[in-house]
Amino acid sequence: MTLSYASGVSATPLLGDTIGANLAKTVAAFPDRDVLVERASGRRWTYEQFADDVDAVALGLRDLGIVKGDRVGIWAPNCAEWMLVQYATAKLGAILVNINPAYRLHELEFVLNQAGVRTLVSAKEFKTSDYAAMIEEARPRCPALQDVVFIGGPEWDALVAEGREGDPAVLSEIGRTLGADDPINIQYTSGTTGFPKGATLSHHNILNNGYFVGELCGYDEEDRVCVPVPFYHCFGMVMGNLAATSHGACVVIPAPAFDPAATLRAVAAERCTSLYGVPTMFISVLADPSLESLDLSSLRTGIMAGSPCPVEVMKQVIERLGMAEVAICYGMTETSPVSTQTRAGDSLDRRVSTVGTVHPHLEIKIVDPATGVTVPRGEPGEFCTRGYSVMLGYWEEPAKTAEVIDAARWMHTGDLAVMDDDGYVSITGRIKDMVIRGGENIYPREIEEFLYTHPDIVDAQVIGVPDEKYGEELMAWVRLREGAPGLTAGELRSFCEGKLAHYKIPRYVHVVDEFPMTVTGKVRKVQMREEALGILGLDAPPGRG
């Protein structure tokens, strides 16, 4: 019997650098190569120009009194300034606090106070959000907040101008006082229930994770990475920015927020070799009418992550976008984020049915959630990971940290997974999403994958709803292709009969235009279960809302 445990043996050593020191090495190697292209403004930077601007921002923040360990918040959609602040704070040893662009007033206020943000760099507005007004309203209740710098405003211009007058040698002196294990970033978890928690990450955590993501994607200085995923999340700032700058590659920002047409135009115009997205983004890109008219032949690889990846969507990404080496990554904010990744040489079947194998220098195991004992390969259990990528902890919340990181430093993810005989991992759902119907454990992911084969269904999510007879019953929420006539529970049952076990066939069907989502592309099943009670006229089951 082989246990569900694997360790990532690697001949490539971990980086011992700080982010600033690593950037300096890349600048020295590739000063004239592109590092950043912002499509919305047409601005672009070589590594040498980027390094100069990073230094100016760092010295400008220092003039505001920012020192090692101070928290600097950033609240903005994807833009060049976001990336400049990311590297500038790292050079100072300040802790960058990523603030979700979708946050409203009470969430903003919570994060500013919980992290003790001293300086906030912010957009003035974005979409329907008036950031400036929310900041003004929150500020009297945020005693730690001393300075607000609006991107594109006179405050930003003044900060950069002051910084350009400073002496970059000061940053070299500061650099010598920084360690790779220093906290450098606080990222708030999606907070699908209650207030979010601030995962605190070090240089070592995120620099190495970005580096090894890039290694497994085969990045070098010729690569150009299109990043439509948000910078405020690990997907953008680690798997995107740090993966690129640790390899001399270029980051292309297609738009401030995800726009499928803008993404495709950016890939074509900038000859991007890699494209990132959560599955819902790739579904939108594949459906965009401009897809067939653009030359996307430069695409080689990319990453699909953030939530489970539908098999049919993955096949189309390879066939229609030409991303033959596209990788599936699995992880979470608390692990910097990636723990497993498919490799370019993996078969199509591996890349559409698993999240790959263990990342270099990490350990993974799958355990019985009740006992903590590692289960045999082929049996489901909770996915756990250990190694350099595990966060330092939740910011100033040791009790909540202890709930997820055990005494042996294993991070307990709350995800259900199965490891096969070759060490490939499949994520089968969340422990809290598992449905128990009449004593049968049902994993919604299996049913969702089957529903994708229905000709009219473009996206599907399955949840458990209360049932007097069985305890729980299955409800499928589905998005239909344009022009589809609709779908009844009876029609779906007919499609499933003979192909799914009877107890896995959804009793209820709810057709929607979109699912309730977090900004990172994760479906909020907690909200779906709450809404389902009203839709079906049901009472909440004991212990579940």
The string of DSSP codes covering 98-142 is E--TT--HHHHHHHHHHHTEEEEEE-S-BTTB-HHHHHHHHGGG-
Final residue belonging to a domain, choices 150, 179, 208: 179
**At residue 542, does pLDDT exceed 60?**
no
CATH number of 57's domain: 3.40.50.980
Whether residue 329 contacts residue 359, with contact meaning beta carbons closer than 8 Å, is answered with no
Lowest mean pLDDT among 188-202, 215-229, 256-270: 188-202
Amino acid in position 92: L
Identify the band that residue 539 occupies on the pLDDT scale cut at 50, 70 and 90: confident
**At residue 189, does pLDDT exceed 80?**
yes
DSSP state letter for 485: -
**At residue 306, does pLDDT exceed 90?**
no
Final residue belonging to a domain, choices 125, 153, 179: 179
Does 481 reside within a domain? yes
Average pLDDT value for the chain? 94
Identify the band that residue 215 occupies on the pLDDT scale cut at 50, 70 and 90: very high
Residues 401, 403, 406, 409, CA torsion sign:
negative
How do residues 73-106 score in pLDDT, each as one tens digit? 999 999 999 999 999 999 999 999 999 898 889 8
Does 85 reside within a domain? yes
Q: Which two tokens stand for residue 171?
A: 């940053």
Q: Percentage helix, strand, coil, to 5, in the chain?
A: 35, 25, 40
337 cis-preceded (ω within 30 degrees of 0): yes
Residues above pLDDT 70, as percent of the chain: 97
Report how many domains make up the chain: 2
pLDDT of residue 308: 65
Residues 75, 81, 85, 87, CA torsion sign:
positive
Does 146 reside within a domain? yes
Final residue belonging to a domain, choices 179, 201, 225: 179
pLDDT of residue 540: 59
Identify the band that residue 337 occupies on the pLDDT scale cut at 50, 70 and 90: very high
Identify the band that residue 313 occupies on the pLDDT scale cut at 50, 70 and 90: confident
Report DSSP letters for 346-408, one per residue. Answer: S-HHHHHH---EEPTTEEEEEE-TTT-PBPBTTS-EEEEEEETTS-SEETT-HHHHHHHB-TT
Q: Can you tell me the distance from the alpha carbon of 354 to that of 425, in angstroms, rounded to the nearest whole number?
A: 6
Lowest mean pLDDT among 18-32, 178-192, 220-234, 325-339: 178-192
pLDDT of residue 190: 63
pLDDT of residue 17: 97
Q: Which two tokens stand for residue 201?
A: 């990450």
The CB density around residue 194, as the number of other CB atoms within 10 Å, is: 6
Residue (of 67, 77, 16) closest to 236 by Cα position: 77
Does 43 reside within a domain? no
Q: Can you tell me the distance from the alpha carbon of 51 to that of 54, in angstroms, rounded to the nearest whole number?
A: 5
pLDDT of residue 543: 39
Residue (of 425, 308, 219, 294) closest to 227 by Cα position: 219
pLDDT of residue 192: 45
β-pairing verdict for 224-226 and 250-253: parallel
Strands (E), 223-326: 224-226, 250-253, 274-277, 301-304
Question: Vertex 81, ends 219 and 74: CA angle to 5°?
Answer: 105
pLDDT of residue 538: 86
Q: Can you tell me the distance from the alpha carbon of 377 to that of 423, in angstroms, rounded to the nearest whole number?
A: 8
How do residues 394-450 score in pLDDT, each as one tens digit? 999 999 999 999 999 999 999 999 999 999 999 888 888 888 888 787 878 889 989
Q: What range does the domain containing 500 cover?
A: 434-536
**Distant-in-sequence, close-in-space partners of 148: CB < 8 Å, separation ≥ 6:** 119, 120, 122, 135, 139, 155
Does 371 reside within a domain? no
Tell the residue number behind the tokens 């009844």, with chain if given.
Answer: 488
CATH number of 444's domain: 3.30.300.30
Length of the chain: 545
End-to-end CA gap in the chain = 39
pLDDT of residue 309: 72
Q: How far is CA 160 from CA 40, 157, 166, 184, 237, in A?
A: 21, 5, 10, 21, 22
pLDDT of residue 520: 63
Q: Can you tell me the distance from the alpha carbon of 239 to that of 226, in angstroms, rounded to the nearest whole number?
A: 11
Q: Can you tell me the distance from the alpha carbon of 78 to that of 75, in angstroms, rounded to the nearest whole number?
A: 10
User: What is the phi/psi pair of residue 135, to 5°?
Assistant: -65, -45
Residue (of 79, 74, 80, 83) closest to 120 by Cα position: 74
Does 121 reside within a domain? yes
Question: Vertex 255, ends 292 and 459: CA angle to 5°?
Answer: 55
Does 373 reside within a domain? no
Q: Average pLDDT of 521-540?
A: 87
**Distant-in-sequence, close-in-space partners of 56: CB < 8 Å, separation ≥ 6:** 160, 163, 164, 166
How do residues 111-164 score in pLDDT, each as one tens digit? 999 999 999 999 999 999 999 999 999 999 999 999 999 999 999 999 999 999
Question: Vertex 14, ends 253 and 393: CA angle to 5°?
Answer: 75
Residues above pLDDT 90, as percent of the chain: 83
Number of H helices, E strands in the chain: 18, 26
Whether residue 256 contacts residue 79, with contact meaning beta carbons closer than 8 Å, is answered with yes
Does 7 reside within a domain? no
Q: Which two tokens stand for residue 17?
A: 């650098």
Q: Can you tell me the distance from the alpha carbon of 26 to that of 535, in angstroms, rounded to the nearest whole number?
A: 55
Tell the residue number behind the tokens 């008036």, with chain if given.
Answer: 130
Identify the band that residue 195 occupies on the pLDDT scale cut at 50, 70 and 90: confident
Q: Average pLDDT of 371-382?
A: 96
pLDDT of residue 42: 98
Whether residue 418 contacts residue 443, with contact meaning beta carbons closer than 8 Å, is answered with no
DSSP state letter for 344: T
pLDDT of residue 544: 37
Q: Can you tell me the distance from the alpha carbon of 323 to that of 297, in angstroms, rounded to the nearest whole number?
A: 9
Q: Can you tell me the distance from the alpha carbon of 36 to that of 123, in angstroms, rounded to the nearest whole number?
A: 19
Amino acid in position 70: D
User: What is the phi/psi pair of residue 510, to 5°?
Assistant: -130, 120
**Distant-in-sequence, close-in-space partners of 362: CB < 8 Å, separation ≥ 6:** 7, 8, 339, 385, 386, 387, 388, 389
